[in-house]
Amino acid sequence: MPFRVLIMAHAPDADASTHRTEVKTDMIEAHLVLTGSQQEAVEAAGEYHREKKLDSILLCPGFTHGEVAKIYDALGGEVAVAVARGDGPSGRISAEALGRAGFFE
């Protein structure tokens, strides 16, 4: 049975029902969903866990501690929830790139 992970990122112009894909090998199923809101993220996490029996969820650094907790709680503590966070310089580089892309408008 492969390791099943859902990778999620917030994007202001995303629609979780259409902005999704997956990559599979015999050992891993990696699902990617872009969400336009926290509500979409919680719903997508629940959907994927019900349908795929997730082992882990990896969230982009844009998720706040509270948003991470809401996803974890919505899944009843059955799925590992982690956040991809970098060091200070990496955070600044990412923030500048997100700003150029229009995330903060």
Single-letter amino acid, residue 78: E
pTM of the model: 0.90
Q: Residues 31, 52: contact at Cβ < 8 Å?
A: yes
Confidence at residue 62, expressed as pLDDT on a 0 to 100 scale: 86
Contact 45, 51 (CB under 8 A): no
Query: Who contacts 15 (Cβ-Cβ below 8 Å, separation ≥6)?
Result: 36, 40
Q: Which stretches does DSSP call E strand in the chain?
A: 3-10, 20-24, 28-35, 56-59, 80-83
Q: What per-residue confidence (pLDDT) applies to 103?
A: 87
Residue 21 β-bridge partners: 32
- Contact status, residue 31 vs residue 53, Cβ threshold 8 Å: no
What was the pLDDT predicted at 28?
Answer: 97
Total number of domains in the chain? 1
What CATH code is carried by the domain that includes residue 24? 3.40.50
Instruction: Determine the pLDDT at residue 60.
Output: 92
Residue 74 belongs to domain spanning = 3-101
- Residue type, position 10, single letter: H
Task: Give the pLDDT of residue 104.
Answer: 85
pLDDT for the residue 6: 98
Question: What's the average pLDDT block by block, 10 residues per block, for the chain (105 residues)?
Answer: 96 95 97 97 97 96 93 96 90 90 87
